[in-house]
Amino acid sequence: MGILRFVLLVSLSLVLFGLKTTVSQPQQQAQVPCLFIFGDSLVDNGNNNRLLSLARANYRPYGIDFPQGTTGRFTNGRTYVDALAQILGFRNYIPPFSRIRGQAILRGANFASGAAGIRDETGDNLGAHTSMNQQVELYTSAVQQMLRYFRGDTNELQRYLSRCIFYSGMGSNDYLNNYFMPDFYSTSTNFNDKTFAQSLINNYTQQLTRLYQFGARKVIVTGVGQIGCIPYQLARYNNRNNSTGRCNDKINNAIVVFNSQVKKLVDRLNKGQLKGAKFVYLDSYKSTYDLAVNGAIYGFEVVDKGCCGVGRNNGQITCLPLQTPCPDRTKYLFWDAFHPTETANILLAKSNFNSRAYAYPINIQELANI
């Protein structure tokens, strides 16, 4: 590790330890008027509850540490965007779009759906879900709803939306539940790592442009984390391709290709392709790598096993209904085979908010202040 990187990690850990892993009380006034969320199970907070899908988390012990109990969040407590909303000063968590009624839409909505991807067919192996294209369409319908509260004045609505933050975290399932599932999908036959990433970027560009056309001006776009190192992959490859228990480098290498293209996309969009918009790229690969490699600095004692699950690394089968999880979730980086714990989510949200360690070209606080 280089000296500069070491100093950065130590400085960041001191900041995080000073703040603990709790989010302070929300401010009286939120820093932005609304927050709109697009993504997959990492940030889904209940949209999949009524869908015929295996990608659901509306049963105990999911939500065991969440104030409202089991809600459909795929972790033990708060998700990344829950923590982010609190840091931004929202008094309440951003609700799932499936449950929003009336003027509550003016504070934002969460459109995320477990198993969703940039490609429409991604996640079909798990059942029903709401793809990114569908999430964008739901958002456009929400804009039409909001227009009523602005008496049909599109300019006023545009000014309002231009102050809001839009969060988009997509791509993980396009690899886990598509490209690297050759028995179910043909993408690995039709594409290689580079051409598949480019195909995703082409689709993603259209989706983000559609959000822009319907008011998005402050947009957070996340890269994909180090998913070759999640408990599911460690359990799956431990006794096959990888007897040492190391990460699945084949998946990680493909993710690196995709993430580099996402960052380049952010650069293009910031250089005038979408006039008046500001995009921020979050390097989820680097941030999740740092949490795993330097787990002890952040208080983690277990970085390769799920707190709740079945089989090797608690990653062969995800957390089952009424299963007893590990007693101290704060010591675990992963909650189950795929998803981080609340503690990890909060650490990541804080680091992205007021630091450029993983945020490019500016951090979230700077984006909010534009």
Active-site residues, by number, are 41, 336, 339
List the beta bridge partners of residue 235. Answer: none
Instruction: Indicate left, alpha or beta for 171 from its phi (over 0: left) and psi (-120 to 50: alpha).
Output: left
Contact in structure between 237 and 248 (CB atoms under 8 Å)? yes
**Residue 205 CB-density burial (10 A; 0-12 exposed, 13-18 middle, 19+ buried):** middle
Beta bridge partners of residue 317, listed in sequence order: 310
> Do 353 and 365 touch, CB atoms closer than 8 A?
yes
Distance CA 324, CA 188 (A): 37
- Paired with 359 in beta bridges are 282
Cα Rg, the chain, nearest whole Å: 19
